[in-house]
Structure 1
Amino acid sequence: MTGARERLTGSALSLYLAALLLLAGPAFADGSATSAQAQQRAKAVTQVVLGILSYARWPVEPVPLRLCLVGPTEYADDLIKSNVQNAGQPMQVHRLLADDRQVAHACDAVYIGKLDPGQRDRLFQDISGHPVLSISEADDPCTTGTLFCLRVGDQQVAFEVNLDSVARSGVRIHPSVLQLSRRRAVQP
């Protein structure tokens, strides 16, 4: 009797596992669609970031431009692979820890991922007074030190501009980029 019960339990377990695999199949397929969407978003973010950088002017033009990724990022994978800007100028991309005190001297631009408020405050204290362009990936209100705040959606990547931070940064931004941010912000 024990052998029959073990066969029945084994058969039930096999059926249960088969049902789980059948149900998980669409989830795996959906996961690959989600992966493809994330990859598409990363490419779109890269194009927007490279576009912003190409319309920025530093007091002394950096060659190569040093872009630093700070904090955990969701869409920066393609930026890491970049070694030239849209205009063909050389660019170096590397990651720094959020508490690295050399950010202001090692970076011409920072791409900011998710940081806690204390880390953000320290970062902006460190770059304050230095010509460092900052772009935030995290969904923040674009009020605390960041020059550009990305808004990543399914259909497009938009951005907001903090004009006060731009004025204080020492980096000049072409007026057409500022106009573009206003137009994109109006679109749904």
Structure 2
Amino acid sequence: MKVAAPTSGRVTSRGRSLMAALPLLFGALASAESKPTSTLAEQRATAVTQVVLGILSYARWPVEPEQLRLCLVGPTEYADDLVKGTTQATGRPVVVRRLLAGDPRIANECDAIYLGQLSPDERAQLFSAISGHPVLSISEADDPCTVGSVFCLRVSDRQVAFEVNLDSVARSGVRIHPSVLQLSRRRATQP
């Protein structure tokens, strides 16, 4: 599946809203100075949550779920805030739960998966299980973003950035707004 390009310069009000919100969602990516009273780990977890929720808000499933089901798979370092669950800016609730990598429910009961540390075999089994299902995958671990994951987070002391695997986007069955893809390219080229 290809990501659709914007149509001939015509911007709908929804498109303007998306474009206006994009910097807000991704521009406030964590800086170490943002909350002097919280620990660096808490700041990273908050920043990761903002980025993940931003990514999810720019994704479209073939059938939009009333509540978005985000599954955390494998040991994670920055998912503490995600575990609490939340509501997207659109008002759609995000229900979060942890599942084991081999859990057969992942393909049918998760709209998105947030991957922590998994062995190569666990990753292969997981991506095989979700193949053909509209599931968005976001990888937290130090992933080269070449196999399986649609988004790969890059967490540092100063910010949370991400890379996009366009082949995985095409195979995921989930459409991603082109602005998010462009944002990942700009962040990848910044020093």
TM class by shorter-chain length? 0.7 to 0.9
Which protein has the larger Cα radius of gyration, Structure 1 or Structure 2? 1
**Which of residues 90, 95, 113 is equivalent to 1:110?**
113
1:51 and 2:42 correspond:
no
SS in 1 for 2:40: helix
Measured after TM superposition, the shift of residue 83 of structure 1 is: 2.5
Contact 1:51 / 1:86 at 8 angstroms: preserved in 2? no
TM-score for the superposition, normalised by structure 2: 0.79
**Which of residues 170, 184, 188 is equivalent to 2:187?**
184
Gaps of 5+ in 2: 1-35
Identity %: 75
Measured against aligned partners, the alpha-carbon deviations of 1:106-161 in whole angstroms (never above 9, x if no partner) come to: 10000000000000000000001100000000011001110000000111000000
Q: Give the letter for the 2:131 counterpart.
A: S
1:110, 1:177 → 2: CA distance?
Answer: 18
Residues 1-188 of structure 1 aligned to structure 2 (within 5 Å):
36-188=39-191
Greater RCO between the two (CA within 8 Å, min separation 6)?
A: 2
Measured against aligned partners, the alpha-carbon deviations of 1:22-78 in whole angstroms (never above 9, x if no partner) come to: xxxxxxxxxxx9x70010000000000000000000000011100000000000000
SS in 2 for 1:51: helix
SS in 1 for 2:101: coil
Q: Give the letter for the 1:71 counterpart.
A: G
2:39, 2:90 → 1: CA distance?
Answer: 27
State the superposition RMSD in angstroms. 1.1
Q: Which has the higher helix share?
A: 1
Gaps of 5+ in 1: 1-32
Measured after TM superposition, the shift of residue 100 of structure 1 is: 0.4
Measured after TM superposition, the shift of residue 99 of structure 1 is: 1.0
